[in-house]
Structure 1
Amino acid sequence: MSKTNIQVSIIMATYNRAHFIAETLLSIQNQTFQEWECHIIDDGGTDNTAEVIQPILEKDTRFSFHKRPEQYQKGLPGCRNFGLDLAQGQYIIFFDDDDIVHPQNLECCVAEFSNPDIAFCRYQRAAFTGDFEYQFDYAKDYTKFAVYSKDVEKMLTYKLPFNSCAVMWRKSCFNQNRFVESLMFAEEWELYSRILSSGVQGVSINKTLFFGRKHYNSNTGEFSRRNEMRVVSKKEAVLLIVDNLHKRNMMTSSLLRFFVQMALGYKKYHLFSEILSKLDLSLGQQIYWRVLYAFLPLRLSLNRLKKKLIK
């Protein structure tokens, strides 16, 4: 395909996923929208991924395979930043190397960009374990709603989650925004909130267009098991987010409370005190939040007990 025909650049980081990646690439080949390129970025894997995908690369030149250069830090963020520098399309989407993409994914998203005010298209994501059951909903009628910069609070509190592989972006969103390469978890949470807080608007469509594979060795699985590297990364992502929102005057009381409550799970990392250090709080405000933090565990316990009694 001529570079001039590329509309969507798919960026896929990979690391030792030879047993999953071929099925993922097939789901990309099966897209109803065909004007795409897919940059597969290897993060220094040691399995036979390159051998597994070689037949696909030879038959379909829209796929390209690259080793992450040393100037990009090892990890998912560095690979994705490299992919952004390679991208030729006007739209960007990140796919993981072990998931399944709905055949209409690119088609539905690109159609939404006919509105020039739309900077991103968010959609629904479902999770699966084991073998994937190929039963797709091909209906083209779906509801949707607008997403604005003010909705960054919903995004950060997971009321409107922005999964890393469930959003297509205009490439221009990354002109001034890149992944923080030192983050090994929650890197998309931090970056996407930064983009959304910059004033862009988008759309969210109520159609499931991506299917995430749940398995033991995923980054999310490691975070759930309190892997030190993943946990520390989440803490650092929180601090970056708090700093960005403070600079933009977008830190609300309810959002600060959300982060303060989150800090209860990061006591050994002193997250609460570091959050307060990012903010220009008066002495009275500091006392308020310190008292709230001290009594929050008791209050949460009482709320849980109350819910049990009501049931």
Structure 2
Amino acid sequence: MKPKVTIIMATYNRSKYIVETLNSIQSQVFTNWECLIIDDGGSDTTIDVIAPLLEKDRRFHFFKRPDTYIKGLPGSRNYGLDLAKGDFIIFFDDDDIVHPQNLEICVEELSKQNVFFCRYLRNVFFDDFDYNFEFSKEYTSFFVTKSHVEKLLINELPFNSCAVMWHRECFKENRFEEHLMYAEEWELYSRILSSDIKGISIEKCLFFGRKHANSNTGEFYNNNPIRRASKKEAILLVIKNLKDKQLLSSSLLRYFVTLATDFREYNLFTQIITLLELSIFERIKWQFFYSTFPLRLSVYKLKKTFRKI
């Protein structure tokens, strides 16, 4: 039977956690799925520890990323997208836990609504996971459209990589940028949403992310240069997409110029201004904003401290 949902899981040296993750997938209430496990060239015992599951449950499929896709999470996911057979696509990480109702609820929402994705809530956990799930189907929801792109980008409406189920049509002309080693989903998901599609966001937690220092996010906040350089490149790609679609508002530009103060080693501000081809007046205005931002931020923090006294 053709699977309704394709789960794409890129993996790299996660033999310690992946079996627990796959067990949570196997426990899904909705059963018509395939799970494509894409190995990104790991060197641990992942294939050995998952071999019994592969043998017992033929919905799991193991592949090694071919060299025609760039090494890394984006390339592995793109390979999975090219293999996928399902009408709906969802990305899961190899060290997290999936709520048993995840696929069931998302498929129901995508089937009854004229929407192209279903976004849901994600919580995080450390160490051992508490399997005391909440099984209610009572939750609020709201539609998400192109007008929410700014909220996605400033993380007011976060689109976590594993907290959205997509209609496969969303990837017909959209793929992950394979050279990005961080913020690749932030860039891609904002690009998809800016294409004027509608989705639904439900206020129910259906995914649980394991937090540890070896994750891409953990490495970024520990100032890993590869992750930081990738975020800089992702920012430029996002700005170019918004410019091409005439969606770059003044408030978003202010946000990106502010972000550029944290990427001075890459001269990001100059790259942004050059990309936008601004007039001389606009260049001067944003140069002043950029140059004075650290001072204004210090004054703001000082005032905030005095208010607490």
2:142, 2:275 → 1: CA distance? 33
- The equivalent residue for 2:279 is 282
Q: Are residues 1:208 and 2:201 paired? A: no
Secondary structure of 1:165's counterpart equals coil
| Letter of the structure 2 residue corresponding to residue 74 of structure 1 | K
Equivalent residue pairs, number: 308
CA deviation vs aligned residue, 1:79-124 (integer Å, no higher than 9, x gap): 0000000100000000000000000000111111124520100000
1:183, 1:75 → 2: CA distance? 8
- The equivalent residue for 1:185 is 182
Secondary structure of 1:309's counterpart equals helix
- The equivalent residue for 1:78 is 75
Q: How does 1:265-276 map to 2 (within 5 A)?
A: 265-276=262-273
TM-score by length of 2: 0.99
- The equivalent residue for 2:156 is 159
| Letter of the structure 1 residue corresponding to residue 60 of structure 2 | F
| Letter of the structure 1 residue corresponding to residue 153 of structure 2 | L
How far off is 1:280 after superposition?
3.0
| Letter of the structure 2 residue corresponding to residue 42 of structure 1 | D
2:247, 2:273 → 1: CA distance? 15
Secondary structure of 1:278's counterpart equals helix
- The equivalent residue for 2:47 is 50
1:93, 1:288 → 2: CA distance? 43
2:190, 2:221 → 1: CA distance? 22
Q: How does 1:95-134 map to 2 (within 5 A)?
A: 95-115=92-112, 117-134=114-131
How far off is 1:150 after superposition?
1.2
| Letter of the structure 1 residue corresponding to residue 9 of structure 2 | M
- The equivalent residue for 1:36 is 33
- The equivalent residue for 2:89 is 92
CA deviation vs aligned residue, 1:6-62 (integer Å, no higher than 9, x gap): 110000000000000000000000000111000000000000000000000000000
Residue identity (%): 59
1:178, 1:82 → 2: CA distance? 10
- The equivalent residue for 1:236 is 233
Secondary structure of 1:38's counterpart equals strand
Stretches of 4+ aligned residues off by more than 4 angstroms:
none
Secondary structure of 2:111's counterpart equals coil
- The equivalent residue for 1:137 is 134
CA deviation vs aligned residue, 1:259-309 (integer Å, no higher than 9, x gap): 111111100101111011111311111100000000000111111111121
| Letter of the structure 1 residue corresponding to residue 82 of structure 2 | D
| Letter of the structure 2 residue corresponding to residue 145 of structure 1 | F
2:277, 2:265 → 1: CA distance? 24
2:231, 2:72 → 1: CA distance? 15
TM-score by length of 1: 0.98
1:91, 1:127 → 2: CA distance? 24
Q: CA RMSD in A?
A: 0.7
Q: Are residues 1:297 and 2:300 paired? A: no
- The equivalent residue for 2:253 is 256
Segments of structure 1 that go 5 or more residues without pairing to the other structure are none
Secondary structure of 1:258's counterpart equals helix
Secondary structure of 1:265's counterpart equals coil
- The equivalent residue for 1:16 is 13
2:137, 2:16 → 1: CA distance? 32
| Letter of the structure 1 residue corresponding to residue 50 of structure 2 | I
How far off is 1:165 after superposition?
0.2
CA deviation vs aligned residue, 1:117-141 (integer Å, no higher than 9, x gap): 2010000000111000111110011
Secondary structure of 1:117's counterpart equals coil
| Letter of the structure 2 residue corresponding to residue 290 of structure 1 | Q
2:228, 2:112 → 1: CA distance? 39
Identify the match of residue 148 of structure 1 among 129, 145, 149: 145
Segments of structure 2 that go 5 or more residues without pairing to the other structure are none
| Letter of the structure 2 residue corresponding to residue 294 of structure 1 | S
Q: Are residues 1:310 and 2:307 paired? A: yes
| Letter of the structure 2 residue corresponding to residue 240 of structure 1 | L
